């Protein structure tokens, strides 16, 4: 089954319904022992806050950012990135969408502060927006062009962020979105972008997985050998680096695609 994909991980099949971007921030419990934060200290360690960080560290930093008016932080993509990391590991759908919507809002505000040339802002806006709309078909369809536009800007301004994230997400968007005239799906564009992602950033597991999926969708019989090669490369990369909290959901995506391949091969015997 083809699925619409708008995040650093694959997303679920659209469910019927519509939703608005949530504006109410998620409250965090048991954070009384957050370390004292300063703007300078947070800026200095911002690159260490990511998938390998524990949730409390990310939450404490996000709370500080919510209460800060410092323009250095307000123009930064850090808040939007923290929201994305927390949303991706949040099992509760409502909280996940709240966190992602907050990430969208942080990115929009930063872009409005003369941040239009910051590719990271466009990237994290698109990644968060994808998480917000993924369970809501009407909202997702209404945001296809915006997702495409933000990812294209990220690709132009900062193509190497997140191990080729703009290539990966835009390629996945073209793969999973409905094709014309309903949507913007385009298998040729998807293959071109994901081939670049694999070539330029071969270290990232999802670059190989998404490229394998695109090859599979194009012609699973002709491309089966290459599909399996890319799949195996991506799967092995999961254990070759510390991907932190991303490992579990990524493993699930590999498992699901392996099952899809197995089902088709079984039916053709």
User: Is the CB of residue 87 less than 8 Å from the CB of residue 99?
Assistant: yes
How many whole angstroms separate alpha carbon 173 and alpha carbon 190?
8
Query: Pick from 209, 208, 205, 211: which is nearest to 243 by CA?
Result: 205
Q: Does the pLDDT at position 7 exceed 90?
A: no
Q: Does the pLDDT at position 3 exceed 60?
A: no
pTM, entire model: 0.89
Main-chain dihedrals φ then ψ at residue 51, nearest 5 degrees: -60, -25
Helix (H, G, I), strand (E, B) or coil at 185: strand
Q: Does the pLDDT at position 176 exceed 80?
A: yes
pLDDT digits (tens, 9 = 90+) for 68-96: 999 999 999 999 999 999 999 999 999 99
Averaged pLDDT of the chain: 89
Q: What is the pLDDT of residue 22?
A: 58
Main-chain dihedrals φ then ψ at residue 188, nearest 5 degrees: -65, -45
Beta-ladder partners of 185:
179
End-to-end CA distance of the chain: 20
Which residues, 6+ apart, have CB-to-CB distance to 42 below 8 Å?
61, 64, 65, 73, 78
């Amino acid at each position: 089954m083809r699925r619409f994909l708008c995040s650093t991980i694959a997303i679920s099949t659209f469910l019927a319904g519509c939703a608005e971007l949530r504006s109410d921030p998620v409250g965090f419990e048991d954070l009384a022992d957050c370390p004292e934060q300063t703007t300078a200290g947070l800026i200095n360690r911002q690159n260490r806050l990511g998938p390998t960080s524990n949730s409390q560290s990310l939450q404490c930093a996000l709370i500080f950012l919510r209460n800060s008016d410092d323009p250095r932080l307000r123009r930064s993509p850090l808040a939007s990135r923290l929201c994305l990391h927390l949303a991706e590991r949040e099992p509760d759908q409502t909280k996940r969408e709240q966190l992602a919507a907050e990430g969208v809002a942080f990115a929009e505000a930063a872009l409005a502060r003369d941040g239009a040339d910051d590719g990271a802002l466009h990237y994290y806006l698109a990644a968060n927006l994808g998480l917000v709309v993924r369970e809501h078909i009407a909202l997702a369809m209404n945001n296809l062009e915006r997702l495409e536009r933000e990812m294209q800007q990220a690709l132009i301004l900062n193509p190497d962020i997140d191990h080729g994230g703009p290539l990966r997400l835009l390629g996945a968007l073209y793969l999973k979105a409905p094709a014309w005239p309903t949507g913007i799906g385009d298998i040729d564009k998807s293959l071109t972008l994901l081939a670049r992602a694999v070539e330029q950033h071969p270290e990232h597991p999802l670059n190989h997985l998404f490229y394998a999926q695109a090859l599979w969708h194009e012609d699973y019989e002709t491309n089966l050998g290459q599909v399996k090669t890319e799949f195996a490369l991506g799967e092995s990369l999961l254990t070759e680096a510390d991907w932190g909290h991303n490992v579990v959901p990524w493993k699930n995506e590999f498992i699901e695609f392996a099952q899809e391949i197995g089902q088709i091969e079984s039916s053709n015997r």
